[in-house]
Amino acid sequence: MTDTIRYYVGVDGGGTSCRARICDPDGHLLGEAKTGSANIMLGSAVAMGSIQDAIATAAAQASLTNADFAAMSVGLALAGAEQKEAWYDFMAQPHPYGAITLNTDAYGACLGAWKGEEGAILIAGTGSCGILLKDGAQQVVGGREFPISDHGGGAVMGLRLIQQVLLSVDDMVPQTPLAQQVLTHFNHDVDAIVSWSKTARPCDYGQFSPAIFAHAAEGDTLGIEMLRQTAADVEMLLTALFARGADQVCLMGSIGERIVPWLAPPFADRLAEPQGDAMDGALAMAKGAHNLYPL
């Protein structure tokens, strides 16, 4: 790290949102902001735009200007960074910062959860990914992006929900209050659902996860089925991490934090409380060399 770095910036970016936090060398918080999606698989330029907006907004809170960007070291913990081509495309973009390092959002979350030490996490938000840092090596399970992967995440859960809603329209499965709420969202227009699906992003499918949890709590059979499937997915990923040598796993993310009551006791008993979050991990990345691939 060069002597010109005066600020450390942690960025946690996923399919739904991007958060940026600016600190001084002593760790004092100077500014924090949140913007839109920063999943680099959805486009490097889109992700970079969200990141720059978040950093600029956080900088303004700290009375910093564009002239200060060159004094910033930025740790980027971003969804989609595990895909090598997307990683290199993103890193090839011009930027105004003094230094950047890029790894996955799961890597940043793992660093934060274990205070920079080795350990394992499963992050289940809009997407999902498990990561184990052990004996100096990084092992990843899942996380190959929606719709072909990301089991246990909100997007897959939302996709399954839409499928069941369409089946209910054709009277092949019961139409529960949860299904009726989704239909109301689309004005009971099946063609609108089909058209929407052609361009829907992971976060668009993930928007239905709060309704799934709410209806399941009221006994809705479809909501319960969705959460049981999601819990089974989470258990599958946890099993893979345990098989690779994890003793305990921090279960994180908007879905991960809420799915715990649905897990079987043998899995719930091996969960650990995270000591920090992905923002803490991203800030740790800003202070060292954590690139996933060589430049």
| R_g (Cα) of the chain, nearest Å | 20
By percentage, how much of the chain surpasses pLDDT 70? 99
- Tell me which long-range contacts 213-216 makes (C-beta under 8 A, separation of at least 24): 213/258, 215/176, 215/177, 215/178, 215/181
Q: Identify the band that residue 80 occupies on the pLDDT scale cut at 50, 70 and 90.
A: confident
**pLDDT tens digit sequence for 190-202:** 999 999 999 999 9
pTM greater than 0.75 (yes/no) = yes
**Pairwise pLDDT comparison (82 vs 119), residue with the higher score:** 119
pLDDT of residue 235: 98
Predicted local distance difference test score (pLDDT) of residue 273: 96
Q: Is the pLDDT of residue 169 over 70?
A: yes
What pLDDT is stored for residue 289 in this prediction?
Answer: 81
Spans of all domains in the chain: 7-115+276-286, 154-268
**Would you state the pLDDT for residue 206?**
97
Domain 154-268 has CATH 3.30.420.40: yes
Residue 219 region, left (φ>0) first, then alpha (ψ -120 to 50), else beta? left
Q: Give the model's pLDDT for residue 105.
A: 85
Average pLDDT of the chain, as a whole number: 95
Q: What are the tens digits of pLDDT across the range 237-295?
A: 999 999 999 999 999 989 999 999 999 999 999 999 999 988 999 999 999 888 989 88
The pLDDT of residue 75 is 97
pLDDT (0 to 100) of residue 135 = 92
Residue 2 confidence class, pLDDT cut points 50, 70, 90: low
For position 82, what pLDDT does the model report? 87
Instruction: Write the pLDDT tens digit of every residue in 99-133.
Output: 999 998 889 989 999 998 899 999 899 999 999 99
Residue 101 DSSP symbol: E
Question: Nearest 5°: CA angle at 42, between 38 and 48?
Answer: 40
Q: What's the fold here for domain 7-115+276-286?
A: Nucleotidyltransferase; domain 5 (3.30.420)
